[in-house]
Structure 1
């Protein structure tokens, strides 16, 4: 995972004196993100993050009172970065909603086959936190809601009869591609995802998606 920094306007951990993002909190988050993604959230101790970030325990807990607070911050930042990228594609292809879906599919295919890829961080987190009311799961659920909501909006512009249902189907294809990437080539995974997605959209537009 590349360096994880909070998007502009997002503040994680204890704010700096001016109310902005604290550099120390950012350093803690960056250290945690690498371990959480590569090793699994439950497997990473607060002490390991403290050592990697080069801070004291007092400093760590001043910014993140519990490890769960740090996990929520990590997923929140990842979600906001993904949302911003998707929003940018929607803006870039405002007159071609089908290209938004194709661009997203190509990005998923490339990402899932990239070196160091360890699966979707949200699916991974959901597997480690089974309680649907846990704060971590709530972040995962909100991210999923926004992702499928954006897809449904795009599908509605394409004339799909039940955009919410078709958005869910595309989401399931996306999840499958994340797994297939572990054993496939980027070109093959991307091509398969594009073909399957196009078939789902065609069925949705004809009213035969069920």
Structure 2
């Protein structure tokens, strides 16, 4: 990915990335060409290629933006300094809030993986890196809940999240979020019961 000079990104780069993010998420990546992005961002092709060496470079920048937003979402839940179980619930509530938001179209990373199935492709690798970070983060949170091994419960949480995000753009999001949050509560109860509970 092409590196920006130190300091604030240029207005043109920010506009290009915001435009690409909006269109890639709502319409898909392969269906959107460079000419469409250039036209809607009101820049020239030369300007785009000055900031991004290729469409793939722009796609990776888009996923990096989504990754940063997700990390901020998780950090917000963690920095509230709640009890361990309440931190996991706060993360679940944050995910549910995203599903309920206008224009929700599922998980940007799962959508990208569907369009880039080759495990050696840089976009697919970016998806896997994000998902590994998320799994590791949830594992660390659940390790504070009880003595039982945390990774199986964390994988369960990620599967609940994936299912809710897939269903949330197909069915009534309120119903999906209610089901998801009940699932998180059940997961926490089962994980705590599987081992002695540690102090938060």
TM-score strictly above 0.5: yes
Residue pairs, 1:135-146, within 5 angstroms: 135-146=122-133
Shift of the 185–129 alpha-carbon distance from structure 1 to 2, 3 Å rule, reads closer
Aligned residues: 194
The match for 2:153 is 166
The match for 2:61 is 73
Structure 2: tracts of 5 or more residues without a match: 196-200
Q: Decide which moves more: 71-80 or 104-113.
A: 104-113
Residue pairs, 1:9-158, within 5 angstroms: 15-16=4-5, 18-92=6-80, 94-158=81-145
Shift of the 88–129 alpha-carbon distance from structure 1 to 2, 3 Å rule, reads same
Shift of the 185–38 alpha-carbon distance from structure 1 to 2, 3 Å rule, reads closer
Q: CA deviation at 1:146?
A: 1.2
1:120 & 1:160 partners in 2: Cα distance? 31
1:49 & 1:13 partners in 2: Cα distance? 18
Q: Decide which moves more: 199-208 or 164-173.
A: 199-208
Q: CA deviation at 1:13?
A: 5.3
Are the equivalent residues in 2 in contact too, given 1:97–1:155 (CA < 8 A)?
yes
**Secondary structure of the corresponding residue to residue 71 of structure 2:** helix
Q: CA deviation at 1:43?
A: 0.3
Which digits, 9 at most, give the CA deviation of each residue in 1:91-122, with x for residues without a partner? 11x24121122122222223223321111100
**Secondary structure of the corresponding residue to residue 178 of structure 1:** helix
